[in-house]
Amino acid sequence: PCWRVEDFVVAQECTRCSGFEAKTIVACKPTGFIEKINCPSSQRDEFKSCRSAVMEAHVFWRFVGTMMCVAAIFAVLVVCRQRVLDRKALEKVRKQLESI
C-alpha cells in the first residue's frame, strides 16, 4: 500500500463499512471501519483500516459499566459473607457463655 511508503492525505474520514464494502474491501475486515486516503506522489486512492473514536468510546464505557456491576455484585457478596461470619461468631460466644 502506498500509505506505508509515502505521505498521504485523508480523503474521507473513518467510517463504518457497509455490508457490500465489508465483502469487497480487504481493509474492512480487521476493524469494520475504513478511511479513504490519497497518495499524492503516486496519484493513488486506497482504503486503510482505522479505528472509530465513537466506537472506541462506546466499548470503553461498556467495559466500565460491566466492571462497576461486577464490583457491586462482589461488594454485596462480601457484606453477606461478613454477616454470616459475624452471626457464627456471636453464636459461638453465646454457646461458650451458656456452658459456664
Q: Render pLDDT for 55-92 as a digit per residue (tens, 0 to 9).
A: 888 889 999 999 999 999 999 999 999 999 999 999 99
Q: Are the C-beta atoms of residues 22 and 32 closer than 8 Å to each other?
A: yes
Domains annotated for the chain, with CATH where assigned, are 2-51 (3.30.720.220)
What pLDDT is stored for residue 50 in this prediction?
86
Is residue 55 classed exposed, middle or buried when 0-12, 13-18 and 19+ CB atoms within 10 A define those classes? middle
Q: Are the C-beta atoms of residues 30 and 52 closer than 8 Å to each other?
A: no
User: Considering the chain, what percentage of its residues have pLDDT values greater than 90?
Assistant: 37
Helix (H) or strand (E) holding 38: strand 33-39
Q: Are the C-beta atoms of residues 6 and 41 closer than 8 Å to each other?
A: yes
What pLDDT is stored for residue 45 in this prediction?
81
Give the cell for residue 11.
480523503
Mean predicted confidence (pLDDT) in 14-29: 83
Is residue 57 classed exposed, middle or buried when 0-12, 13-18 and 19+ CB atoms within 10 A define those classes? exposed
